[in-house]
């Protein structure tokens, strides 16, 4: 991630959350904060500091991605277009990738996971979305000041996107693409990760819990 940022958008200030050893030998002027915690608190910690330094927007980049030459360029072009043309409060604007939510994945069939090697027309379009994972994604100060991430690993992005939508913000999928094949940052047991999030959501967002968990397809 750091190498591709330095190559394709060297003018962008970089904030990093993690141990110093992670950035050993990297020449950019990095600011390093925090220790490992949950996804939500980690996002909040680093993004709060970026906004505190006076930036009006932040691009959140997860550490297991690789940018392409156009990743940052297309993302920021799409943000500019959305803010100038929609007349609506813009929440998250996120890149597409290889593996995240099915709506973000490129050239894949969510029903059988067969890969398709010819570009779909909709990959060249900005698309409205209800919920996105901030694998490589833009957010403005107005949205960030409205809501921050909950202290969760799984469902932190679901809750944040729904909170912002309830406040009148709109999320979009950008034409931007980053390579992200996925990781096992917090383990491979998906059901365990869901169960860890459920109590907090039931207590703090009962409306979401009813919609997400209290159905026939519920993981609980």
- Output the tens digit of pLDDT for each of the chain's 220 residues: 889 999 999 988 888 876 543 443 334 444 555 555 788 888 898 899 889 999 999 999 987 899 999 999 999 999 999 999 998 999 999 999 988 888 888 876 555 555 556 677 888 899 999 999 999 999 999 999 999 999 998 899 999 999 999 999 999 999 999 998 766 666 667 788 888 999 999 999 999 999 999 864 444 4
Of all helices (H) and strands (E), which one includes residue 24?
none
Predicted confidence at residue 187, as pLDDT, reads 62
Closest CA to 39 of 199, 193, 220, 204: 193
Residue 108, strand partner residues: 115
Q: Which two tokens stand for residue 174?
A: 């950008």
Query: What is the residue whose two structure tokens read 């940022």?
Result: 5
CA pair distance 111, 175, nearest whole angstrom: 23
CA pair distance 174, 96, nearest whole angstrom: 7
Residue 57, strand partner residues: 140
Q: Return the sign of the alpha-carbon dihedral for residues 72, 23, 66, 143.
A: negative
Closest CA to 4 of 172, 94, 136, 101: 136
Give ranges for CATH 3.90.550.10 in the chain: 2-185
Query: What is the residue whose two structure tokens read 């029903």?
Result: 111
CA pair distance 97, 67, nearest whole angstrom: 10
Closest CA to 43 of 168, 143, 125, 152: 152
Under a CB-based contact definition with an 8 Å cutoff, are residues 16 and 30 in contact?
A: yes
Domain 2-185 has CATH 3.40.50.300: no
């Amino acid at each position: 991630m750091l190498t591709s940022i330095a190559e394709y958008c060297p003018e962008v200030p970089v904030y990093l959350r993690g141990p110093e050893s992670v950035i050993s030998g990297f020449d950019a002027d990095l600011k390093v904060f925090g220790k490992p915690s949950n996804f939500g608190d980690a996002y909040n910690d680093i993004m709060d500091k970026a906004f505190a330094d006076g930036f009006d927007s932040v691009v959140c980049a997860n550490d297991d991605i690789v940018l392409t030459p156009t990743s940052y360029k297309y993302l920021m072009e799409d943000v500019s277009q959305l803010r100038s043309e929609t007349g609506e409060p813009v929440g998250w604007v996120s890149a597409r990738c290889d593996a995240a939510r099915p709506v973000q994945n490129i050239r894949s069939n969510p029903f059988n996971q067969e890969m398709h090697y010819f570009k779909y027309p909709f990959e060249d379009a900005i698309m409205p979305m209800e919920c996105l994972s901030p694998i490589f994604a833009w957010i403005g100060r107005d949205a960030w000041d409205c809501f921050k991430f909950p202290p969760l690993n799984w469902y932190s992005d679901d809750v944040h996107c729904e909170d912002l939508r309830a406040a009148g913000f709109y999320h979009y999928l950008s034409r931007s693409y980053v390579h992200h094949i996925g990781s096992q940052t917090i383990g491979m047991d998906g059901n365990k990760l869901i169960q860890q999030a459920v109590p907090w959501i039931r207590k703090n967002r009962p409306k979401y819990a009813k919609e997400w968990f209290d159905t026939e397809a519920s993981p609980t």
